[in-house]
Structure 1
Amino acid sequence: MSDTLTTPQQADDLVVLDKFTGEQIAAVSQFTVEQALDAIDDAEIATATAAALPRHERAAILEGAAALLHERSESVAELIVSEAGKTIRQARKEVSRAVNTLRLSAAEALRNAGEVIPFDSFPGGENRQGWFSREPLGLIVAITPYNDALNLVAHKIGPAIAGGNAVLLKPAQQTPLTAQLLVDLLVEAGLPDNVITIVRGNRYVAQALVQARNVRMVSFTGGFATGQAIAATAGIKKLAMELGGNAPVLVFADADLDLAVEASVSGAFWAAGQNCIGAQRILVERSVFPAFLKSFVAATEKLVTGNPRLDATDVGPMISAQSAEAASAKIHEAVADGAALLTGGELNGSLLTPAVLTGVPRTCRLWEEEVFAPIVIVEPFDDEQSAIISANDSEYALQAGVFTSDLNRALRVAGAIEAGGVMINDSSDYRLDAMPFGGSKYGSMGREGVRFAYEEMTQPKVVAISR
């Protein structure tokens, strides 16, 4: 074992805080590197158990967990509010989506088993027939983020179970309780308790999981720097990574401005802006820019920031006071460079009021980087081509939004924007859990969305019979 992986024999407990009050809500044990290596060996043994589960049992387990999650949805939502800081309305929606993700995974276990191969489609194959099946990869490491602490865990372990794999799950340090709850529901629904192993720990523990030779795939959602580290150390294995975005939304003069404002406000500030497909750069045709900006700022100022447990709250806390302070620093940096702060940006612990800026220089971090905070840039453009150039002015390209009443323009712009998905007359942050999800530029690898993750987490095996 490399010296770089050496950690103390006993790791400190991980303290979990309520993201609004700052009070401790739990303390959970963490793994040392040595314990993580033991867990990898045990999990590899469990791959045989996972693969041996008949497809109907995999489906029944996933459906059963979905039913339990639906039944307990309010208590689960309350946990998300406390542990992740989402507002109660947003947390309820996340639970509903996770139920759907598990049900989609159950359907995939039954549906996507392989295909017949038409060997007689080529001369010499007339006397052959056969098929390919989709077989488990084996052992998968899933590393999940804090911003969708339930549904993004479901997006990894649901397809993995459907495909007959064992999983080593490393949840975000800030939100381990929600991940544990979902795994517990799966076990309650009948999943053998060794098929998913939760491993909590620091970056050295994560490195041990990623480097392990007997791991067949790493599925990671998180920051770009961590993704680079994983790619550099994983070795020869499959990688699926979603490393964030910097989503543009284009609003043309012929758009329904009321719709564009409403959708873009939601798209920018949902989950306190901690959303990888959230609207970060809103580009508006110059002739309607003043009207849009006035309405957008007014709608932003109506948002209620505060206690996430209250139904009236629109914007809750960020994941930590440190994250809120870092976001506030980016606002001050942009203003110092000439940007205008039109509203918001008030810091109070982990709360940051929704901020709208304009005149942001292209060299600012707010323009170049994923901000992951309740901050949005609104800028004018003069013509379609300049809007497309501005929209594509980022290394990170998950999704984009386009508002226009001209269908030809909508399709033309959607084709020109470099992104994994383009939402027309919707904000960039719309996501259906059944659709392929991922980016199109630097750092993006693979796709999520249940069917597509399932295919990433399985491998085809051909059987051909010569008669």
Structure 2
Amino acid sequence: MLMPVEVKRSLLVGGVWRGAATGMAIDNPFTGEVIDRVACATPADAADAVASAVRGQRALAALSAAARAAILHCAADALAARSARFAAMITAETGKTITASAKEAARAVNTLRLSAEEAGRLTGETVAFDSFAGGEARSGYYVHEPVGVIAAITPFNDPLNLACHKLGPAIAAGNAVVLKPADQAPLTAIMLAELLLEAGLPAEALNLLTGHGRDFGDALVAAEDVAMVSFTGGERVGAQIAHAAGIKRIGMELGANSPVIVAASADLARAADACVSGAFWAAGQNCIGVQRIFIQRTAYAAFRDLFVARTAKLVVGDPMAAETDIGPMISERDAQRLLDWTAEAVAAGAHVLAGGRRDGALLHPTVLEAVPADARLACQEAFGPVVSLFPYDDLDAAIAAANAGDYAIHAAIFTESVREAHHAARMLQAAGVMINDSTDYRLDAMPFGGAKRGNMGREGVRFAIREMSQTKVVCFNHG
């Protein structure tokens, strides 16, 4: 919704916060009230931000690795001290429960600290030029250098930690960033940008653009001085970015339809607890959240009953209340989308075991069985609190069903059999396989990204730093 001219000065360009001719409201998904109004950037703002980032990158690259690490440590300290404020803002603009928001803030502190620690570890090594005839008189080495300016585009579901996963590694490696936070949740990113500037980041090394990505996104990613685009979000927007960006580095994480296999040998109570948490944490708006569970037929009824019983105990409501397990989805429209998908599956023969209703943007945790394999709930990313259960007889058949789909990040298996665990780890087509854990487990230091069509680079601090760097070889001819 377009608002009057008087809006928050939310565009950080050239080290200065500025406004725009138009703005948009940021709503609280639970109450529907307007939290704030932010400026809507234009292509001209994007061009100014990129030009500023070019200057900022030179200033940042001139700093030593120790100086960049000190900035990140200072930012981490400040974030830890203000974590309650950040958690409250995350909850206000996304509807994530305050418990989950506090956990996100703690993870973001760790992400910045990891980035600081890795700043001094981005080292090269010597090259044995004399390993091939003609190189006997040569010696040398290679080093890692920043790629330059990075356009970072982040989603609403983890507005703080996912921003840190782009900014922390970029700064550690000496890159400047133009950050475009999610349309629905830019306020947390604004707070983070303010914090980084306070920590001593060169003023133009971070630029931030709020507003509708459709208005200026193409201009941002297509800019010649942008060396890399780092995007977390959906396939449709990812395809548009790739088309507009042209020839440059692109790192993308495009979502998934995460499968879990539960073998009859598994601790079913443990598996049910982990899968309930993995499916409904953050109202299921999680790219590695549990969406499909394949249960060995001899254990199916027992697991189903445990899973449904635990789901029924979840408290749905005000995300600011400490006892709430599930808050609203990001909008009523998204909640209704999943209700429509559920109705489609039911019309095709599925049965609702729990949930299947909404109150505004609150979608009650929904569990289904007998979902057809071609239903959208089974073959597309739901990105909400909806889970489908499927029985299986043969492990390889379960693995084949789990591997269906074009995009994958994590898969999981619960089993007490080492043979089954190793077999699943080899055969599951995913970038990560969790054994006796939910698909939504992630350590911020581990490599993270997509598999199959979604395989476009890796995040996880050390791995993201490598993606945001390029090698330079230095060779001496002593002949």
User: 2:107, 2:49 → 1: CA distance?
Assistant: 30
1:83 CA displacement = 1.0
1:204 CA displacement = 2.7
- AA partner of residue 23 (structure 1): E
Say whether the 8 Å CA contact 2:255–2:454 is kept in structure 1: no
Q: Are residue 260 (structure 1) and residue 275 (structure 2) matched? A: no
2:251 is matched with 240
Aligned pair count reads 459
Q: Deviations over 1:85-109 (max 9, x none)?
A: 1111101110111001001100111
- AA partner of residue 17 (structure 1): D
| Partner of residue 35 from structure 2, selected from 22, 25, 28 | 25
User: 1:388, 1:140 → 2: CA distance?
Assistant: 38
1:245 CA displacement = 0.3
Matched residue SS, 2:204: coil
1:340 is matched with 351
2:117 is matched with 107
- AA partner of residue 204 (structure 2): N
Matched residue SS, 2:462: helix
Q: Deviations over 1:73-129 (max 9, x none)?
A: 111111111111111110111011100100110011111132222334444434332
Q: Are residue 41 (structure 1) and residue 51 (structure 2) matched? A: yes
| Identity %, equivalent residues | 53
2:174 is matched with 164
CA gap of 1:379–1:449, structure 2 versus 1, over 3 A, is same
Q: Deviations over 1:312-361 (max 9, x none)?
A: 11101101111111111111111111100001122111100100000000
User: 1:225, 1:197 → 2: CA distance?
Assistant: 25
1:196 is matched with 206
| Partner of residue 309 from structure 1, selected from 320, 324, 338 | 320
Deviates more, 1:238-247 or 1:435-444: 435-444
After superposition, residues 190-339 of structure 1 pair within 5 angstroms as 190-202=200-212, 203-339=214-350
| Partner of residue 393 from structure 2, selected from 378, 382, 388 | 382
User: 2:429, 2:78 → 1: CA distance?
Assistant: 40
User: 1:424, 1:119 → 2: CA distance?
Assistant: 43
Say whether the 8 Å CA contact 1:87–1:313 is kept in structure 2: yes
User: 2:29, 2:128 → 1: CA distance?
Assistant: 56
- AA partner of residue 86 (structure 1): K
1:444 CA displacement = 2.5
- AA partner of residue 347 (structure 1): R
1:3 is matched with none
What TM-score do the two structures reach when normalised by structure 2? 0.94
1:265 CA displacement = 0.4
Deviates more, 1:45-54 or 1:451-460: 45-54
Matched residue SS, 2:142: strand
Q: Are residue 86 (structure 1) and residue 102 (structure 2) matched? A: no
Superposition RMSD in Å: 1.2
1:206 CA displacement = 0.8
Q: Are residue 448 (structure 1) and residue 438 (structure 2) matched? A: no
User: 1:292, 1:443 → 2: CA distance?
Assistant: 31
1:426 is matched with 437
- AA partner of residue 296 (structure 1): F
Runs of 4+ in structure 1 over 4 Å off:
none
- AA partner of residue 433 (structure 1): D
- AA partner of residue 160 (structure 2): L
User: 1:10, 1:140 → 2: CA distance?
Assistant: 23
Structure 2 stretches lacking a partner, 5+ long = 1-18
What TM-score do the two structures reach when normalised by structure 1? 0.96
User: 1:304, 1:10 → 2: CA distance?
Assistant: 41
1:13 is matched with 23
Matched residue SS, 1:341: strand
User: 2:315, 2:133 → 1: CA distance?
Assistant: 69
1:386 CA displacement = 0.5
2:446 is matched with 435
| Partner of residue 143 from structure 1, selected from 153, 163, 172 | 153
Deviates more, 1:137-146 or 1:126-135: 126-135
- AA partner of residue 250 (structure 1): I
- AA partner of residue 184 (structure 1): E
User: 2:279, 2:429 → 1: CA distance?
Assistant: 20
User: 2:239, 2:107 → 1: CA distance?
Assistant: 29
1:10 CA displacement = 5.7
2:85 is matched with 75
2:376 is matched with 365
Matched residue SS, 1:147: coil
- AA partner of residue 170 (structure 2): A
After superposition, residues 116-127 of structure 1 pair within 5 angstroms as 116-127=126-137
Say whether the 8 Å CA contact 2:57–2:204 is kept in structure 1: no
2:5 is matched with none
Matched residue SS, 1:194: helix
